[in-house]
Amino acid sequence: MERHGSESYFVLGEGLLTESVGGRSRTLSRAVEAAVPPFRFSRMGPNGAGRQLGEPNRKKIGAAMTVGGGGAARMPAGFTYLGQFTDHDLTFDKTNVMLGQLVSPTELLQARSPSLDLDSLYGAGPTDPGSAQFYEADGVHLKMGRTLAAEGVAAKPGFDLPRGAGTTVAAKRKAIIPDPRNDENLVVAQTHLAFIRFHNRVVDTLPGSVPAASRFATAREIVTKHYQWMLRTDYLPRICQRSVVNSVFTSGRKAFEVGAAPTDVPTMPIEFSVAAFRLGHSMIRRAYNWNRIFDDGFGTLDLLFTFSAGSGDLGGGLRLPSSWIADFRRLYDFKSAGRADLAVPEGKFNRAMRIDTKLVRPLKTLPGFPADEANLALRNLTRARMVRLATGQQMATFLQGKGVTLTKLTRAQIRDGGNGAELDGLTQPQRAALLRDTPLWFYILREAELNGGKLTGVGARIVAETFHRAMEGSQVSIVRDPTWRPSLGPSNTTFRMVDLLLFAFQGKKALLNPLGN
Ligand code: HEM
């Protein structure tokens, strides 16, 4: 199974950094595969050789981070999984769906580079033989699936991911989408479905004057630019200090691929992938008030994984049961878009956990991993050691040297945090090592928890610059087209995730929450 997260990292200029066999599976012919570099990771800052914490220490930190709890946040919980969907878009390996002999070396290089092009939604496009399966017969609309009647709710077309045929149960359950990781849990799966609907609705509202031959490309460009606008103006300022995002997008990058030709193929810094963007792990809730039927915390994380085919078995059937269709009103705040009629009582609304050094308990024992490797916090810390990631202190010094204004965390701040992980279980030498050479992921989460649950300093800079570069280097790009403005939201400067959902689901309560109250 392809997992969310790489097993090995090919870092430009350094080669393959790995401790375990595996990594991405071969999808092209052997000859073509040999000619294409693996996914293009890079190192933004210094090498952290000699500064990695030992295993006993990492284990104690991992344990201290997964005791549950953590501060409350205001951020609607949908943004957690929008983050995961975006991570999959950034790290999508398009060679999975491309037919090697038909594509040029340049395309192959692009295919293994970070981008915010929604390749995870579109694959290589309807005319590519490997991706035609994701599209309706018209070659313009994306396929959707039908749920199964359950708990008194009828079967509903358009509320599940499209799923397979074939002879085996696994083949029938398999989501027919370019990136199977988007069927890893039900929240990211329903988010993917919302993007399918968004694309299809954009197609349906194109003016008749757009010729048939360019309807797909026109729709894709509109969708991708609105998605990028939403990430830049809605998602990013929710997770990162707004002034840092604005500074990067208006004045440019200071630390990462500075001066790169905009259309050069970008890389993905390991500081982002192995540390900063794993911030999402601290936003995950233990349980959700999922919908009318799985209410009051009955939408547990465990069940949300079961009701996907990537990690579960859809509850035993071949399609999603209708009783598990998302109630988007509980995941996003439609009042902010002037739609009080789509609000749910506060007690039913799901808010993300605060971005901090604490993860919910279920992440201490991830299913499908050997017991001693199942703690997600420990995995993140160990992955960093594997790639000899720079420490928080090294990155702070590095960024300051590039002209970034930031205040380094003091030892006391790293030790005490702000209602986050408590380090009492560490021995004195272990704590001293942690305060001197703080793993980047931990450092960034401490920064956030001392900043009201938003990335700041080192973390905000790494995330904002990586998004900026990935958007700049995308084939469709609002960074390279600065005069572009959204047309599908309430004004020509506003397009948020709620606007995307309202457009995708035609503003209708019956589509955003087909199960009713
Ligand atoms: C839904 C619950 C989630 C689970 C169970 C989960 C689990 C995992 C696991 C097991 C890994 C690989 C760890 C390793 O061995 O290195 C991983 C990697 C990662 N996760 Fe998550 N994750 C979740 C949600 C998220 C979210 C919401 C975000 C971001 C907003 C995120 C961002 C990342 C990133 C950036 C990586 C590294 C990707 C790469 O290697 O290319 N994850 N996650």
Cα 293 to Cα 215: distance, rounded to the nearest angstrom:
39
Residue 32's pLDDT band, with cuts at 50, 70 and 90, is low
280 lines ligand 1 (CB under 6 A): yes
**Residue 388: which of 2, 26, 15, 4 has the closest Cα?**
15
Q: 24 pLDDT exceeds 50?
A: no
Note the pLDDT of residue 454: 98
DSSP-assigned beta bridge partners for residue 76:
351
281 lines ligand 1 (CB under 6 A): yes
Tokens of 433: 């090592």
Note the pLDDT of residue 38: 75
Pairing verdict, β 157-160 and 15-17: unpaired
Q: Determine which residue's CA is closest to atom 14 belonging to ligand 1.
A: 379
Distance 202 CA to ligand 1 centre (A): 30
Q: What is the mean pLDDT of residues 270-299?
A: 97
Please choose from 3, 4, 455 the residue to mutate so as to test ligand 1's pocket, defined by most ligand atoms within 8 A of CB. 4
Residue 368's pLDDT band, with cuts at 50, 70 and 90, is confident
Alpha-carbon Rg for the chain, nearest whole angstrom, is 22
- Decide if 441 contacts 68 (C-beta within 8 A): no
Residues 6+ apart with CB under 8 A from 416: none
Ligand 1 atom having least distance to the Cα of 272: 35
Residues 6+ apart with CB under 8 A from 284: 80, 301, 352, 353, 359, 360, 363
191 lines ligand 1 (CB under 6 A): no
Ligand 1 atom having least distance to the Cα of 80: 27
Q: What is the mean pLDDT of residues 365-391?
A: 94
Note the pLDDT of residue 25: 54
Give the residue ranges of DSSP H helices in 143-276.
169-173, 186-204, 215-230, 236-239, 242-251, 270
Cα 379 to Cα 181: distance, rounded to the nearest angstrom:
18
80 lines ligand 1 (CB under 6 A): yes
Query: What phi-psi label fits residue 276: left (phi over 0), alpha (psi between -120 and 50 degrees) or beta?
Result: alpha
Residues 6+ apart with CB under 8 A from 165: 171, 172
110 lines ligand 1 (CB under 6 A): no
Hey, how many other C-beta atoms are within 10 angstroms of the C-beta on 474? 27
User: Would you call 274 helix, strand, or coil by DSSP?
Assistant: helix
Residue 47's pLDDT band, with cuts at 50, 70 and 90, is very high
Q: 42 pLDDT exceeds 60?
A: yes
Q: Which residue has the tokens 């050069």?
A: 264
Note the pLDDT of residue 109: 80
Cα 430 to Cα 292: distance, rounded to the nearest angstrom:
48
Q: What is the mean pLDDT of residues 167-194?
A: 97
Written as one letter, the residue type at 224 is T
**Residue 196: which of 180, 220, 170 has the closest Cα?**
220
Quote helix, strand, coil % in the chain, to nearest 5. Answer: 45, 10, 45
Q: Determine which residue's CA is closest to atom 11 belonging to ligand 1.
A: 5
Distance 5 CA to ligand 1 centre (A): 6
Distance 453 CA to ligand 1 centre (A): 19
The pTM score is 0.96
Q: What is the mean pLDDT of residues 241-251?
A: 98
Report in angstroms the alpha-carbon separations of 232 from 228, 248, 391, 493, 496: 6, 11, 27, 12, 9
Using one digit for the tens of pLDDT, what is the confidence trace for 409-444? 999 999 999 999 999 999 999 999 999 999 999 999
Note the pLDDT of residue 466: 98
Using one digit for the tens of pLDDT, what is the confidence trace for 108-165? 788 888 999 999 999 999 999 889 999 999 999 999 999 999 999 999 999 999 999 9
**In whole numbers, what is the pLDDT of the chain averaged over residues?**
93
Q: Determine which residue's CA is closest to atom 12 belonging to ligand 1.
A: 5
Burial grade of 482 (CB within 10 A; 0-12, 13-18, 19 or more): exposed
Query: H-helix or E-strand containing 475?
Result: none
277 lines ligand 1 (CB under 6 A): yes
Residue 101's pLDDT band, with cuts at 50, 70 and 90, is low
Ligand 1 atom having least distance to the Cα of 83: 30
Residues 6+ apart with CB under 8 A from 105: 35, 36
Note the pLDDT of residue 7: 75
Distance 359 CA to ligand 1 centre (A): 12
Report in angstroms the alpha-carbon separations of 252 from 199, 249, 260, 391: 30, 6, 11, 24
Cα 83 to Cα 170: distance, rounded to the nearest angstrom:
27
Task: Work out the percent of the chain whose per-residue pLDDT is above 90.
Answer: 84
Note the pLDDT of residue 30: 67
Using one digit for the tens of pLDDT, what is the confidence trace for 441-479? 999 999 999 999 999 999 999 999 999 999 999 999 999
Q: Which of 2-16, 93-107, 240-254, 360-374 has the highest mean pLDDT?
A: 240-254
